[in-house]
Amino acid sequence: MIIKPILTGILESALNQYLSLDEDASLFITPIESKVIAINIQPFNETLYLCPTTDKIQVLEQYHDKVDTTISGTISALGQMGLSATPMSAVFAGEVTIEGDTQTAHKFQQLFDQLDIDLEEKLSRFTGDIIAHKMGNIFRSGYQWTEESMQTFKLNCKEFLQQETRDLPANPEADIFYQQVDTIRSDYDRLLARIEQLKQ
C-alpha cells in the first residue's frame, strides 16, 4: 500500500512536532522508552507501530519482533481515549481493546495528559506579545466554556456509569484490574515455560 508510508511519515512528523511544544516532553516519554506500541486502526485493519525513544516517538509501518502492547479501535475511539479524562471508559465500553502490557498502554495515554503546552508563548514568536496575548484570551475564554461544559458532561456520564449502571469501574478498580491482567499474563507465560521444561 503506497499511501501507508506517506501517512506514517506525516503522523511521525506531526506527533513529534506536538511533543516538541513542551520542553519537558522527554521526561514524560521516559516511562515508555524502548517500548513498542502497535496501533491497530479499525475497520481498515491497518497497524502502525510507535517506538518511543529518549526524546521522540518513531512511527513504523512494519515491525517484525514482539510488541509490548496492541491498542485496537476506530480512529474516533482511539482519539477519544487519548483526549478523554476517563480514557478507560472506551476500553470497558468495548470501543477500544488492549492486548499485552496494559500498563504500557496506560502510560502511553498519560504521556499526552502530562503535556503542558503554552500556545500563547509559541504564537508570540510570530505575532508579538500583544496580539498573542489577545488571541490567547479569546482562545482561553472559548476553551474554558467548552472545557467546563465537557467536564460537566463527562462527570455526569462517569457518575451514571459508575454508580447507576455499574458499567464503568472507578479509577482505583481499573488500576487493580490492569495489575491483575498483567499478573495473570506473567503467570501464564511461566506456566507454559514450566510445561515445556517438563515435556523435555
pTM score over 0.75: no
Among 3.40.109.10, 3.30.1050.10, 1.10.10.10, 3.90.1570.10, what is the CATH number of 1-117? 3.30.1050.10
Counting residues of the chain whose pLDDT is more than 70, the rounded percentage is 62
CA-to-CA separations, 151 to 57, 136, 156, 172, 194, in angstroms, rounded? 29, 21, 8, 20, 49
Q: Looking at the predicted structure, is the pLDDT value of residue 194 above 50?
A: yes
Q: Looking at the predicted structure, is the pLDDT value of residue 181 above 90?
A: no
Cα–Cα distance measured from residue 46 to residue 43, given in angstroms and rounded to the nearest whole number = 8
Residue 113: per-residue pLDDT = 73
Domain residue spans of the chain = 1-117
Long-range pairs, 173-176, Cβ under 8 A, ≥24: 174/88, 174/92
pLDDT digits (tens, 9 = 90+) for 130-148: 665 566 566 656 555 556 6
What residues does 83 pair with on adjacent strands?
A: none
pLDDT digits (tens, 9 = 90+) for 84-115: 444 444 454 457 888 998 888 888 888 877 77
Residue (of 172, 28, 27) closest to 109 by Cα position: 28
Q: Looking at the predicted structure, is the pLDDT value of residue 28 above 70?
A: yes
Residue 106: per-residue pLDDT = 84
Residue (of 112, 130, 108) closest to 49 by Cα position: 108
Cα–Cα distance measured from residue 96 to residue 71, given in angstroms and rounded to the nearest whole number = 7
pLDDT digits (tens, 9 = 90+) for 61-79: 999 999 999 998 887 777 6
